[in-house]
């Protein structure tokens, strides 16, 4: 405590309301909005809240060690910033600001394919910070291959492949605002700077931006992809590959059989399938199925330090944090993201200690009731 009143609240669950008050309805709706009537986002919260921590007493917790290892990298805590696209709608400093904040705290930053800033510029902003690249798997193989080559050259060490978005879901908040940034060329920076993408255009982007947008929309995702297609990614990426959007243990087993390195138990924060299972409800079965073979990460619903505790106790090796840092960015730029990271980790550290534990690796289902 320094005696200075923080610019943003210590209770990170208040950030969404503040963002609603201070930022435009289109951008906030795009980040905060969910598929359908929001039942999956509510299920994410219900699944975490259904588990209660059972504190243990008279254990020496005078020192704690949050460090963890993921994909051969030593990290200060079991936390990374999840891929969130089009961050320029939240703040003009966009992805570089969030990436600098992550690097400053030693937390990995996962860059979205749909970023507002080319991957090379984000990498430069991060310096030596740990960075991972999230792939929206395009229909065009050459564009995908080019993305992987660029990401590797830019120092991204792990590939996160989002599987749950072969199509964009029915998202009423965006539809009611007629708001989709991609149609205005926002969130397309990696594509509009990619040589393979540009080779498919009759004219340069600046001469016919509408044609460039239509080309992007036509290739952005591919609902025809199947498990055998993963071989293409393995052939073109020599680092860890993590499949994001896994909810069924059988899909996790298929990921292991396909030679993948990890999975993210996630329902895209409730943004894709309305009525889906809550991510934390799916986590234990996935972890039981492949936890000895794959790194198991978790997102969808993480808002507090005790959420991190619960996810680790339910079988995750680490968590990805999404919307809260996007709100922090929108409200206070890079400093806002730093505030979110530090607040979440401080609350997690205290929750760990006050529950009688010293390390994240000590957590298992016995730490919870419910």
Q: Looking at residue 4, what is its pLDDT?
A: 87
Q: Is 268 a residue of the active site?
A: yes
Map tokens 């990298």 to a residue.
73
Question: Distance (Å, rounded) from C-alpha 159 to C-alpha 17?
Answer: 33
How many other CB atoms are found less than 10 A from the CB of residue 240? Answer: 18
Q: Looking at residue 1, what is its pLDDT?
A: 62
Are the beta carbons of 65 and 345 closer than 8 angstroms? no
Q: Which of 51, 91, 215, 268 is catalytic?
A: 268
Q: What is the pLDDT of residues 321-360, one digit of tens each?
A: 999 999 999 999 999 999 999 999 999 999 999 999 999 9
- Long-range contact set of residues 118-121: C-beta below 8 Å, sequence gap at least 24: 118/189, 118/190, 118/193, 119/147, 119/150, 119/151, 119/154, 119/156, 119/190, 120/150, 120/154, 120/193, 121/96
Domain ranges of the chain: 12-53+79-357
The whole model's pTM is what? 0.97
CA 9 to chain centre: 22
Q: Looking at residue 231, what is its pLDDT?
A: 98
Q: Which residues of the chain have pLDDT under 50?
A: none
DSSP 8-state symbol, 5: P
Q: For the chain, what percentages of helix, strand and coil (3-state, to nearest 5) are there?
A: 50, 10, 40
Largest distance between two CA atoms of the chain = 71
Q: Looking at residue 370, what is its pLDDT?
A: 75
Q: Looking at residue 221, what is its pLDDT?
A: 86
Are the beta carbons of 265 and 316 closer than 8 angstroms? yes
One CATH from 3.40.50.10150, 3.90.1560.10, 3.20.20.70, 3.40.50.740 for 12-53+79-357: 3.20.20.70
Are the beta carbons of 115 and 87 closer than 8 angstroms? yes
């Amino acid at each position: 405590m320094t005696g200075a009143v923080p610019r943003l609240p210590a209770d990170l669950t208040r950030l969404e309301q503040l963002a609603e008050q201070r930022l435009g309805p289109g951008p906030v709706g795009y980040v905060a909005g969910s598929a359908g009537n929001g039942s999956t986002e509510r299920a994410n919260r219900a699944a975490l809240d259904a588990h209660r921590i059972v504190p243990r007493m008279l254990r020496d917790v005078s020192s704690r060690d949050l460090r963890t290892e993921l994909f051969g990298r030593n990290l200060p805590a079991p936390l990374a910033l999840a891929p969130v696209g089009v961050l320029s709608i939240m703040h003009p400093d966009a992805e570089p600001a969030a990436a600098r904040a992550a690097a400053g705290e030693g937390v990995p930053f996962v860059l979205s394919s749909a970023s507002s800033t080319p991957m090379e510029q984000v990498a430069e902003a991060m310096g030596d910070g740990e960075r991972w690249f999230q792939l929206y798997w395009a229909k065009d193989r050459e564009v995908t291959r080019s993305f992987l080559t660029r990401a590797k050259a830019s120092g991204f060490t792990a590939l996160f492949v989002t599987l749950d978005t072969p199509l964009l879901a029915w998202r009423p908040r965006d539809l009611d605002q007629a708001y989709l940034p991609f149609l205005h060329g926002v969130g397309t920076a990696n594509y509009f700077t990619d040589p393979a993408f540009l080779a498919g255009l009759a004219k340069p982007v600046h001469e016919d931006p509408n044609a460039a947008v239509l080309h992007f929309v036509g290739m952005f995702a591919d609902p025809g992809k199947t498990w055998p297609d993963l071989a293409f990614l393995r052939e073109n990426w020599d680092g860890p590959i993590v499949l994001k959007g896994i909810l069924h243990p059988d899909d996790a087993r298929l990921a292991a059989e396909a030679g993948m390195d990890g999975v993210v138990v996630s329902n895209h924060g409730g943004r894709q399938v309305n009525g889906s299972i809550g991510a934390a409800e799916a986590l234990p079965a996935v972890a039981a199925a492949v936890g000895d073979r794959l790194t198991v990460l978790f997102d969808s619903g993480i808002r507090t330090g005790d959420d991190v505790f619960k996810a680790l106790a339910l079988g995750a090796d680490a968590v990805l944090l999404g919307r809260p840092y996007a709100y922090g960015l929108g409200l206070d730029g890079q400093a806002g993201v730093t505030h979110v990271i530090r607040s979440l980790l401080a609350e997690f550290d205290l929750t760990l200690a006050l529950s009688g534990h010293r390390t994240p690796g000590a957590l298992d289902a016995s730490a919870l009731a419910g």
